Structure formats: C-alpha cells, structure tokens
Structure 1
Amino acid sequence: MKTSIGMALLAFILVFNVSCDKSEDNVDTNALELPPYESMAMDFSDFLDDSSDSGKQSASAAKVGENWLYPRIVVGFWNTALFTNLAVPVISFKGAFAHKAELIGENTWQWSYTVDGFASEYTARLTGELTSEEVIWKMYVTKIGTGAFDEFLWFSGVSDLDGNSGEWTLYQSPERPHRMIDIEWSRENDEIGSIKYTWVREMNDEDSDDLFMGSYLEYGLQDGDYDVFYNVHVYDAQYEEFVDVNIEWNSTDFYGRVMAYTHFEDELWHCWDSTGEDVACE
C-alpha cells in the first residue's frame, strides 16, 4: 500500500433582503444581508476534531485506522491551507457580521471596521452593490505598521438575488496579488449544501508554473446513510500526476468510507466505524 500523499496536499492545501427602511444616520442593517460565513470558510470540524455537539464519540477521537486517517489528512491539509495561507481575508470577512452596514451610494452598502485577532493592525472595508441580477461583493484590507500596505482587494465575489448561491475569488497577498482560490457555493435550508474550492494560481512563490493549478476539494450533502461527501482532485508531487480521493461519511454516527486508487492501489471502498477503526465495507 502506498502511504504518501500528505505533503503534496499541503500545497493544495454573502444573501440579502431589500428594505426601504433607513435610519436617520444613514445606517441600514436590513437592506443587504451578508452571505453566510461558511460560504467562504466551511466548517470541517465535525470531520476533523475529536468531539462533536451530539455528545457521541467521533471517529477522530480514536485516531486509529488507516481507512479513517488518510481522508482526515486529505481534508485537514485543505483546512490548514485556507485558515493559514489566507487567514487575513477569511477573518476579515468574519468580522463583518459584528458590524452595521452604511449606505454609501445608490444600491451600495459598506461595512468598515478594524479586524480583531492579529498583532498587527488591519482595517477592512467590505462593499456590497445590488444590481438587477446579483450582488457584487468586494473586500479591501489595509495594514498599518510593519509591512504596511494601502487598500488591497483581497477577495471579490457575487451572490444570487435569492441569497442561496454565489462565488468568491481570493487573492494571495499584497506582495503577490495573484488570483489563488475560486469558491463556488450553494445553500440548502439555511446551511451550505455544496461548496467547491479550486486552486487557480498559475505561478508559485518561486515564479514557476504552479503544478497544483486545477486541484480542487468539493464538499456536499447527499441522501442516504453517508450524508456528506468530499471529492478531492489534487496534484501529487510524489507521483507527478493528479490523483482523486472520494470520501463519504455519516455526520451523526461518524462512520465512513474512502476510495483512492493511488493510496490503496485498488478501486474499492475502504471503511471505518464510529470509533475510527478499520472495518470491512458491507
């Protein structure tokens, strides 16, 4: 059995209602609702952490079994990539939910605030423009002090008028303002029903072709015992080719299965039980 893919994966690793009520200070909190935070940063903690809100033991609590450990590595490296490499824009977006929007122009609202959680001082300015077909979102971030930079467009996006789907584009950094990750998302019954992260950066930090371009991780809800799926398509530097990993699991009882030809050297499902131990697939 081949066991190495983790290091390769390390590198791959807003919805509104219109209202006519405006307060005297020009602040309108109901005119434009932000897309859900999870549309940018999906919460994978139920799959990765060692506890769950249900009170039952999750598979990750056991930390045993190759069948469970491998898919956890796959999803975990993506989670790390999003919250480490793009921590500033992700946390900046989260901060918008604690502030009120100001109407700054015809059909355009703005959230402006200081971003908490960093030693350096960042300020964010998020705008939402209502058009006849969609809402256009833009997030500008400014840094003061060491490594200061003026407003940088760190992400942009659109959401449909019903607030149930949209797209984001995140850029790497002010120093390397390259398009890095595209996100497509949709919502079902007030929760994210599907989300897909695609690595679109053309050049890596050494200004060579980014071999991981085209890699993606897709999450979604589905019917059946395995009610959550993850589909991963990623460039594996060890084998110098793209590989596919398909994961399905039960989000209540935490058992699941994985299919990955490169890792397991077959096209079969490999299962784990609610404690994380390897079991035969039924």
Structure 2
Amino acid sequence: MEKTRKAPTGILGFPVTPFNESGNIDESALARNIHFLLEEGLEAIFISCGAGEYNSLSYKEFEATVELAVSEVNGKVPVYTGIGGNLSESLEKAEISAKHNADGYLILPPYLIEGEQDGIYEYFKTILHSTDLGAIVYQRANAVLQLESLQKLVEIPQLIGVKDGVGNMDLNVELTQAIGNKIGWLNGMPMAEVCHPAYMPLGFDSYSSAISNYIPHISRLFYEAMLSNDLQLVQDLYQDVILPINQIRKQRKGYAIALIKAGMEIAGLPVTKSVRPPVTQVEKEHFDQLEKIIKIAFDKYPKNTKTIA
C-alpha cells in the first residue's frame, strides 16, 4: 500500500524501549506502552528514536521494535523509525523500515563528525533517495541545515518534514518563511512544551512530547489550551507540571531518557528504570520529586478516560 507523504501533526509519541532484568528488550511491555499511547490519541508513533535509545540497539533489536510497532499500531496512526549515525548504518535501517512497512523515518545526525553544509546535505540526500518512504530531517547537534541546503533537499519528494532540536529561532524564521508549507515543521526541542508557544506562530503544528509516555492527558490539555489560546491554563500547567519536570530533567545528563522511564514506573506503566550506558538511572531524590509532580498532575488535572477507537 502506498504511503502518504505528509508530515504528522499534533502530539507525537516517542516510546521508550523497555528492558527486562536481563537487559533484553521487553517486547510485551513495549507493545502495551504503544497501545497506551494509541488509546490516549497521540497522532503518530516514532519507534526507536532518541527516547527509545536507538543508539544502543543492535540491528536485530531495531528490526524487532519496528516490526512490533507497525503490527501494534495496525494503521491507526503513522509509524516512523529513528535512523542515524554513520551513513551505512542509516541506509541499512532505512531498508529495514521499508521492509516492515513503516510510514517513514526520522533522520538523526551522523555520528560525531562535523561536516560542512555540502557534506550534511549529501548525508541527508543519500538517505532520502535510498527508499520511497517519507523522511523527516532532525536539526540537531552536528547536522543543522542552512536555508540553501534545505531548499535543495525540499526538491526531493521523500522529504516531508523538518524537526528542530536546536532552538535557533532566527534560523527557524528564515527557513519557515522561505519554504512555507512545502514540508511539515515539528518542534523537537527537549521538553518541547516549554518552548512551543514560540514555535506555533512559525507554522510548527506538532511536537514530540516526552511526558506523553506517562501523563499524556497533560500533553493533550496543554496542546488544546495552546490552540484555543487559553493562556491561563497554559500558565497553570507550566507552573504545576511542565516547568517542575523540566527542572528535574536538566539536573543530569541522560535524564531526557531516564526520567521518562521513571515517570512511567510512577504512573504504573510496564517499564523498568533500567537504561543502557552511557545513560544512568534517575537518582532517588529526583525520582521522589517527580513522583510528587505526577501526583499533582493527576489530582489537579483529572485524566479524561476517553480513548480512540
């Protein structure tokens, strides 16, 4: 079946990869967590990306997560995979994604090496041409496209979107004003809710939500408050939940992943706190702080139990 080349909009789900006590992927837990995100109405599933510790997964593990996600989602929403690192590895994972009928992939930065614009352009171009799937390029770290480079990539039909994880608003204004709605624009900043009010006017109509893994009703409440211009509710959610969690997230490197798993454990979802090095587990002091915030999230903002069909 032909895949629709259109970037997802709304709240984007980035499941973590649960590991069991032996350090292997807990596929049953991953399936249940994906189903949870579907029930909560998230508009897309991005499997084995940054939150899924894609950098620590073997090819076999990556393929297993992609196959599982596509099967579990069963066409309800688009499924994207996370590819990146060295070029040959990215191309192989792109082929795996196509083999298992993913809708597309998020292209993360190449491994470590800094490149000139021509080199970054060639990196993305080579991956874009490698399959017929829709692709989203991730502006982050050592792979930030300037306008001229992105304008050339936009001519490739496989490119459907840009996800920004840098926060250079001067560049974002330049890109969105020059390219407009030829592609989709995704807010991929750490704790994206914090800065989404600055992104929406530029045409960024979706964002990746880490907290949606354990308090998706807060993600939805915040997003709808933004759309309806309910500034008081936005401010309340900032003060009660979003900013306090963000303060914890910034305490340690790797908490962008580990804190999600801690939140899921607190919320009673099937995941352990185990992470793969170099990421480390959340310290008890921060775990306890997060537990208090999540309690406020459920007490002050009761969860709507409505689910998708």
Larger radius of gyration: 1
Q: Give the number of the structure whose residues are more often helix, by fraction.
A: 2
Give the structure-1-normalised TM-score. 0.35
Q: Give the number of the structure whose residues are more often strand, by fraction.
A: 1
Give the structure-2-normalised TM-score. 0.33
